[in-house]
Amino acid sequence: MNPSSPVVAVIGAGSIGVAFAIVFARAGWTLRLQDPDPQRLKTALDEVADRCADLSRYGLLEETPSALCARISLHADLETAVADASLVQECAPERLDLKVELFRRLDACAPASAILASSSSALPSSRFAGELPGRARCLVAHPGNPPYLLPVIEIVPAPFTEPDVVERASALYAEAGLSPIRLNREIEGFVFNRLQGALLREAYCLVRDGISSVADIDKVVSQGLGLRWAFMGPFETVDLNTRGGIGSHAQKMGPAYARMGAERGQQDPWTAELVATVESQRRALVPLEDWEERVAWRDRQLMQAARERAKRDRD
């Protein structure tokens, strides 16, 4: 073990806690995994080892599962688990009362320099850390599930979070192999679950209205939309779908999307100003003169994915 590598305390050894333990231990860091439930503590390390065995089979682990597990210690006691931590990753259930009490205890016992990050899926940290003396070191760091396979992590500072804490947290997650994005301010559900929620809301409506079946809606994503989303987001997708880029797409499709939104009671038209903002950010990433080349890149990405699917179907 590198003596200068960070010590991370993961609080709560459920689905996300176990998965985060893999992320940080895989980075070579010392990991303290805490849970008040003795049953969870009993099985957590076996779960880590099983998932690491799978990662090894796919060539995604550079050491043996037991070497990784050797960096993880298990703790029933919160104070012991966080005593020498530089990052505390809270992964307890999504309940406001529980997070309020847990953050109160964490702020009282973690070293003053430790960052206190919550994995919260929807609750912003101002809901549970706003009254604490050490609130400046608190924020949300929301992962995908499981974070050792989905690298994105949403860093969500509260208005009281120290900018240096945001910087340090982002750097730590990046060093652990994650891909941090920063929100400019708190909003329930953050970006990940807001995007997921928008799609789910429409999917539920389509089932409710008898337009399509659950299986067919899932197929539209797994055999269509999702194949592109595996390597690019919704803005890049439509930017590359329409000659002239996303501005041209908004002109052609904006009115139809506005009608679909209004049908669902949503009044958020893509104004000219909003489209101009989105377009200028896209053009800074891919200038129009590189558009054809980027479209060819997209097609090669899809070909690679198609080849892998065909291989998987043969195996």
Rounded distance, CA 205 to CA 211, Å? 9
Work out how close the CB of 150 gets to ligand NAD at its nearest, in angstroms, rounded to a whole number: 9
Comparing every residue's Cβ against ligand NAD, the nearest one is: 14
Among 9, 10, 12, 32, binds ligand NAD (CB under 6 A): 12
Rounded distance, CA 144 to CA 152, Å? 6
How many residues at the interface with ligand NAD, by CB under 6 A?
23
Going by C-alpha positions, the residue among 180, 187, 178, 151 that lies closest to residue 166 is 180
Going by C-alpha positions, the residue among 127, 125, 178, 134 that lies closest to residue 156 is 125
- Residue 80 in tokens: 């012991």
Question: How many CB atoms are closer than 10 A to CB 127?
Answer: 17
Rounded distance, CA 44 to CA 72, Å? 10
Work out how close the CB of 56 gets to ligand NAD at its nearest, in angstroms, rounded to a whole number: 23
Q: Counting contacts by CB under 6 A, is residue 27 touching ligand NAD? A: no
Q: Which is nearer to ligand NAD, 122 or 136 (CB)?
A: 122
Contacts with 295 (C-beta within 8 Å, 6 or more apart), sequence order: 240
Rounded distance, CA 296 to CA 281, Å? 21
Q: Which is nearer to ligand NAD, 79 or 268 (CB)?
A: 79
Work out how close the CB of 136 gets to ligand NAD at its nearest, in angstroms, rounded to a whole number: 21
- Binding part of the chain for ligand NAD, among 14-22, 68-76, 235-243, 297-305 by CB under 6 A, reads 14-22
The count of residues in the chain is: 315
Among 16, 72, 117, 176, binds ligand NAD (CB under 6 A): 16
Rounded distance, CA 116 to CA 86, Å? 9
- Residue 47 in tokens: 């779960």
Work out how close the CB of 78 gets to ligand NAD at its nearest, in angstroms, rounded to a whole number: 7
Work out how close the CB of 156 gets to ligand NAD at its nearest, in angstroms, rounded to a whole number: 12
Which x/- pattern, by CB under 6 A, does the window 60-99 give for ligand NAD? -------------------------------xxxx---x-
Contacts with 85 (C-beta within 8 Å, 6 or more apart), sequence order: 7, 8, 9, 32, 110, 111, 114
Q: Please give the single-letter amino acid code of residue 294.
A: R
Q: Counting contacts by CB under 6 A, is residue 37 touching ligand NAD? A: yes
Which x/- pattern, by CB under 6 A, does the window 238-277 give for ligand NAD? ----------------------------------------
For the segment 106-125, give every residue that binds ligand NAD (CB under 6 A): 119-121
For binding to ligand NAD (CB under 6 A), which residues are involved?
A: 11-17, 35-37, 40, 91-94, 98, 102, 119-121, 142-143, 145
